[in-house]
Chain A
């Protein structure tokens, strides 16, 4: 008897109740199936859930959450499982609610520039659907070709172009959610005009990392596509100088659409993956993109060129057409995964430093990398001061993971000491919960916990994440 058949005879009251909601092919309770869901993009953590369910309607999600609440069984919402902090890591005694089949774009209103979507819709698919109207959804995490809007919302995800337009929270107007106790509420508003009335409950839910409940329907803001892009790639002989250049662009008053840095290792990996045309011998490149109306972009370009020339750039290159621009971004967005070519394992950190300290922080990371004898690749949202050091190690070597984690910890503490934060966009999840108290004092922590208890007294939604000691 194969596993599928063996399983269909396992009976527990909870599984039986789930069978009332889901047909057999959407209730995955086999060990092979649980195994496939045991990690997100951070494989250092894994846990096999009791079952994974694949709802196809919001009502099925609501029924499932109500059942979990009644039986006090923990659940974890999952989008595409690209979290880098263990956010969608399952809870062993609980279930995973995989939202991938809730992926309908329900409405695009070109006039009011909003889209209403289900949580499993892929980020990039919103822009694809909005394209015929000359609109797009601005937040562009590097994982945008596969991450879901529900995951973006839970993590308040960012992306290269969030420098100018803000993170996910700036683009979510309203949502319907089922809270952990099964109550269904609508937060925010379906239009731009309704924003700003009453307490900002949308702001509270965005970034709550799946600890309050599950978003079922989301209204997002769309923007008109810029008339013109100007993508500039400047090469530097030294990573610190590249960091200082970014600070100088910010200080000059320019507000580019995006401003990113990649160092030598990241360039090497991305170049091997997509042949983006990056200068192979640079110690670092800064990618700056201006966007907007043609006249304004042309003017800003003159100012930008002056700043960059004065910043010690060795070489400046401007993307000559849409194809080249696409390649430059494809390389940048592939960089994390491409680092897999250089090393069997790595951890990505996500700390933030005030932009004026970028050069200093990068030099310090370099020093720590030498001290620990571990290579670190850097590719990050420089305009936001949001670092992404990728610490390379070989998990097969005894003690390597621990050394990498210790190095990561030093980097995070440095970020906080410089007046920054432990995470810019990847979330606390499992991975950074031990650092919460480095950043927040007891009162802060107590307030956060009190709010959570209001939403989820049984701690069944994404149990064990975000708060140390949970």
Chain B
């Protein structure tokens, strides 16, 4: 943390890309301001409690990291700081209840499924609930899709070109099980055999993100144990999980498992990156020309620097035209649990994103993260826009099967 703080030269270059600064225009809600506040808390100049609202408002989108010429590792600073301050802070009751719900349900698909169903019932009483809780419920789909169990192995189509292990994730399995199955099919189309290790669970990155470090470690440790080491890659289709698993080394710093965690992290690849480097086999042409907006997920673009591979895959589909939002990959406001914890700013960012999408006009919106898809859908629907949304892999899957 000290290193990150010391390398900040207070130049302000990061302000331009920060979503909360864009919305609020005040220094405390900028990366430069937050670094300064964290520094002052660590130096004992101000109370942690007084700085906390501004740290809480950070999306953790890490757009400020690639924007910083001085190489400040803001993401590491934030995770370290949140881990340290969470242990010491005194949250109000409602916050604590909500956090407990997040901690106890999101990482566990079965529990989350139950909670989500209960949430829908809760929506009958939505008006009577506090704002934070309403935000939580508002994001749940009207109806949960049926659970679709994953196989243990999904074979390659034709000769095998590679073999990967797949992280099936947590929230996404419940909200959109189809994305995982589409991933298996697209990998198979490209001659990839996929192993889905039994006993795996949530990758823990969301918990790492909100400062629940011990729980994050506990979740991650399980995956370190069950994932094989003799595969070509550990593949994920969730931006947040990919970036989180790349941080396993940091999560286990000074832990006996550090070496193992680092080796694991090195094998992790987003599915689009894996396919792109393997040599992607383009699907058949779409029956009709289609204009598609690719929305960068923060945890792909900013946290992992993944910009070209998904665009190349989509661009290789005949009859598909990619449109660019040209907003510098500004966060849509989803950011993990952010739209649960900071509904106002999340809502404003979601509205802005929806407006840009509508102005540009497209036949579909594609993104590499379920959180972004949910957030954008909510805000498009609020404007009565029925533009279909897909995960990158879903669209590719539909293209292979001529189903679009």
By a beta-carbon cutoff of 8 Å, the part of chain A in contact with chain B is 2-4, 28, 30-33, 35-37, 39-41, 43, 52, 54, 80-82, 98, 100-101, 103, 120, 122, 143, 145-147, 269-270, 272-274, 334-341, 344, 346
Contact = CB atoms under 8 A, between A and B. Distances in A.
A35 B10 contact: no
Contacts, number: 109
Contacts of B47: 3
Given A334-B13, A337-B69, A344-B6, A98 B26 contact: yes
Interface stretch (B49-57, B191-199, B363-371): B49-57
B28 to A, nearest CB: 4
Q: Which of B7, B9, B36, B37 has the most CB of A within 10 A?
A: B9
B70 A273 contact: yes
* Top 6 A-B residue pairs of the complex, sorted by shortest distance between their CB atoms: A340-B70, A334-B69, A337-B69, A100-B25, A340-B9, A338-B69
B399 interface: no
A45 B168 CA distance: 52
Contacts of A341: 7, 69-71
A417 B269 CA distance: 60
Given A340-B7, A341-B7, A32 B12 contact: no
B70 A337 contact: yes
B1 to A, nearest CB: 15
B69 A28 contact: no
A273 B36 CA distance: 22
B49 A41 contact: no
Contact of B40 (A35, A334, A337): A35
B68 interface: yes
Contacts of B45: 35
B383 to A, nearest CB: 23
A146 B9 contact: no
Contacts of A100: 25-26
B68 A337 contact: yes
A82 B15 CA distance: 10
Contacts of A80: 12, 15
Nearest to B7: A340
B11 A41 contact: yes
Interface of B: 6-13, 15-16, 25-28, 33, 36-37, 40, 45-47, 49-51, 53-54, 68-72
Contact of A81 (B9, B12, B37, B51): B12
Given A272-B71, A340-B69, A146 B15 contact: yes
Contact of A41 (B10, B16, B36, B40): B10
A187 B230 CA distance: 73
A37 B27 contact: yes
Contacts of A52: 26-27
Contacts of B15: 80, 146
Nearest to B51: A32
Nearest to A336: B11
Nearest to A331: B69
Nearest to A146: B16
Given A36-B37, A337-B68, 20 more contacts: A30-B50, A33-B26, A35-B46, A36-B28, A52-B27, A81-B12, A98-B26, A103-B25, A143-B11, A146-B12, A270-B69, A334-B13, A334-B69, A335-B69, A337-B13, A337-B69, A339-B9, A340-B8, A341-B70, A346-B9
A425 B263 CA distance: 50
B12 A35 contact: no
A39 B9 CA distance: 11
Q: Which of A98, A145, A274 has the most CB of B within 10 A?
A: A145
Nearest to A102: B25
- Tell me if A's interface is mostly helix, strand, loop or mixed: mixed
A47 to B, nearest CB: 14
A273 B69 CA distance: 5
A31 B46 contact: yes
B10 A39 contact: yes
Q: Which of A39, A80, A101, A122 has the most CB of B within 10 A?
A: A80
7 contacts: A33-B28, A35-B46, A40-B10, A80-B15, A98-B26, A340-B11, A341-B70
A40 B9 CA distance: 10
Given A3-B47, A35-B45, A145 B54 contact: no
Contacts of B53: 4
Nearest to B68: A337
Q: Which of A40, A103, A272, A340 has the most CB of B within 10 A?
A: A340
Nearest to A341: B71
Contacts of B12: 41, 80-82, 143, 146-147
B15 to A, nearest CB: 5
Q: Which of A35, A81, A339 has the most CB of B within 10 A?
A: A35
Contacts of A81: 12, 27
Contacts of B11: 41, 82, 143, 336-337, 340
B13 A35 contact: no
Given A28-B26, A143-B11, A36 B33 contact: yes
Contact of A98 (B8, B9, B27, B54): B27
Nearest to A395: B6
Q: Which of B8, B68, B72 has the most CB of A within 10 A?
A: B68
Contact of A35 (B8, B36, B68, B69): B36
A338 B28 CA distance: 23
Contacts of B25: 54, 98, 100-101, 103, 120
Contacts of A101: 25
